[in-house]
Structures are given as structure tokens and as C-alpha cells.
């Protein structure tokens, strides 16, 4: 009786593994980036992300103070590392080419921002990236302080004070800048140390 049960379980596992292998080999599962993920895949990925965020995202307050200088430092980091996928202040009106070509697409943050999310969640997403998507992990490139600075900007993106707002509106994909706050060289970014960990 017990032997039969064990044999049955073994056989089921072997058949399931064999079917999985054959399905993969047949090419039924799309490997192309222009195939929209199905609703089951999206549901599973979303549930996994939310559960991970609940367990792992830091619960502390953003240690970077809310000042114009820090917001502008965040905008500079964003322009250097994020704008290529997440777009400019134009948002959905002029989505970035890479953002459009990804599946799931990179949200154009000026239109679909994360202002309502807890800052710890945004910090975690930037630090670790998001599995099964084109969102990279930045923890080996940016310091924690730089990631919190980016988080500060994303949290306040829809209600920036006049100086940072002008800098943000003037930020373009090719790095062109028009606001006075941006024409003072790259001192803000340098003081944040964008070239790696201090
Ligand atoms: C190569 C493209 C790419 C780059 C570069 C990139 N991201 Fe992303 N990002 C994505 C994609 C794609 C998603 C959507 C993931 C998903 O659907 O869950 C995403 C999601 C996010 C989210 C979550 C949005 C939400 O609605 O929950 C945040 C926050 C974010 N990125 C911030 C950043 C920051 C900050 C940078 C720069 C340091 C950055 N990303 C660079 C592709 C990119």
C-alpha cells in the first residue's frame, strides 16, 4: 500500500517534470519581450512582489532631509540613471523608447508616479530591482544615501518647490538643461558621489 503510494507520487513528479520539459522545448512559452505577460503571470508576480515588500522593505523614515538641494540631487541622479526608461516630466505624453519597448513597460513616472507608496517600498525597488521585469537593481552602483535621495524626489515629484520644479521641467533625455539651478555645474551630484560607493 505504502509502496504503491510512493510509486504513484514518484510517477506524478516524473510526468510533471517531463511535461514541463517538453512544453519548454516546444517553444509554447514565449521568450520575446513584445509578448504581453498573461493575467496569471501578472497575478503571481504582483503577489510575490507585495509579499516581499511587506517582509523586506525598510520601515524607517527617509533619512535624507527634504531640501531643494537634495531634491535637485535626486533629479540629477534620475536623469543619469532612470530617465532613459522612466521618462521626463512629459510623462505619458512622450514616453521613453526603452520604457515603451519593455514588457511590462517601464511606468513613465511623471504620469504614473509612486508618490503614494511608502518610501521604504520605493527604496527597496530601486535597491533590489523587480524580478521578471526590466527594472534593474541599483545597490551595487548607488549608495544607500543616493537611493534615499532618489526616493525623496520620486515621493515629491508631483509637488516640487519652484526651484526643483523648474529643474525637473528642464530635464531632457540628452542631458540638456535650462533651469538656473542646473547651470551651476555638477557640484550637487559630485557631493553625492555618483561614481560609486564612497
Ligand atoms: C532598463 C529600464 C529601467 C531603468 C534604467 C530603470 N527602471 Fe525602474 N522600472 C523599470 C520597469 C520595466 C519597471 C516596471 C516593473 C513592474 O512592472 O513591476 C520599473 C519600476 C520601477 C518602480 C516601481 C513603479 C511602481 O509603479 O511601482 C520604481 C519606483 C522605479 N522603477 C524606479 C527607478 C529608478 C529610481 C531608476 C533609476 C535609478 C530606475 N527605476 C531605472 C525599468 C527601468
- 144-160 pLDDT per residue, tens: 999 999 999 999 999 99
Residue 96 lies in a domain: yes
Residue 55 belongs to a domain: no
All cell numbers assigned to 195 = 561614481
Range(s) of the domain holding residue 158: 61-192
For residue 17, is it within any domain?
A: no
Q: Residues near 107 by Cβ (< 8 Å), separated by ≥ 6?
A: 86, 99, 113
The residues with which 130 forms a beta bridge, in sequence order, are 135
Note the pTM of the prediction, 2 decimals: 0.86
Classify residue 27: in a domain, yes or no: no
Instruction: Report, as ranges of residue numbers, the positions in the chain whose pLDDT lies below 70.
Output: 175-198
In a domain, 159, yes or no: yes
Check: CB of residue 139 under 8 Å from CB of residue 128.
yes
Identify the pLDDT of residue 1.
Answer: 75
CA-closest candidate to residue 38, choices 134, 132, 136:
132
pLDDT score for 176:
53
pLDDT score at 39: 92
94 found inside a domain: yes
Residue that the C-alpha cell 526608461 belongs to: 85
Helix axes of 144-156 and 68-81: crossing angle, nearest 10 degrees: 100
CATH of the domain at 102: 1.10.760.10
Number of independent structural domains in the chain: 1
Counting from 1 in the atom list of ligand 1, the atom nearest the Cα of 105 is 12
Distance CA 111, CA 28 (A): 35
Measuring from atom 17 of ligand 1, which residue has the nearest CA?
104
Cell of 22: 517538453
Longest CA–CA span in the chain (Å) reads: 82
- The DSSP symbol for 130 reads B
* Residue of 107, 137, 155 to test ligand 1 pocket, by largest number of atoms within 8 Å of CB: 107
Amino acid at each position: 500500500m505504502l509502496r504503491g503510494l510512493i510509486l504513484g507520487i514518484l510517477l506524478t513528479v516524473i510526468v510533471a517534470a517531463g511535461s514541463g520539459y517538453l512544453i519548454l522545448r516546444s517553444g509554447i512559452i514565449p521568450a520575446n519581450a513584445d509578448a504581453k505577460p498573461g493575467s496569471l503571470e501578472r497575478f503571481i508576480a504582483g503577489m510575490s512582489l507585495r509579499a516581499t515588500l511587506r517582509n523586506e522593505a525598510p520601515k524607517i523614515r527617509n533619512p535624507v532631509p527634504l531640501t531643494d538641494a537634495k531634491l535637485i540631487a535626486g533629479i540629477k541622479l534620475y536623469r543619469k540613471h532612470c530617465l532613459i526608461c522612466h521618462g521626463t516630466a512629459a510623462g505619458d505624453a512622450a514616453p521613453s523608447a526603452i520604457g515603451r519597448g519593455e514588457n511590462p513597460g517601464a511606468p513613465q513616472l511623471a504620469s504614473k508616479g509612486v508618490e503614494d507608496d511608502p518610501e521604504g517600498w520605493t527604496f527597496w525597488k530601486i535597491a533590489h530591482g523587480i524580478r521578471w521585469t526590466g527594472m534593474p537593481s541599483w545597490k551595487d552602483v548607488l549608495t544607500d544615501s543616493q537611493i534615499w535621495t532618489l526616493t525623496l524626489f520620486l515621493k515629491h515629484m508631483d509637488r516640487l518647490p519652484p526651484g526643483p520644479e523648474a529643474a525637473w521641467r528642464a530635464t531632457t533625455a540628452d542631458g540638456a538643461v535650462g533651469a538656473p539651478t542646473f547651470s551651476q555645474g555638477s557640484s550637487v551630484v559630485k557631493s553625492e558621489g555618483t561614481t560609486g560607493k564612497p
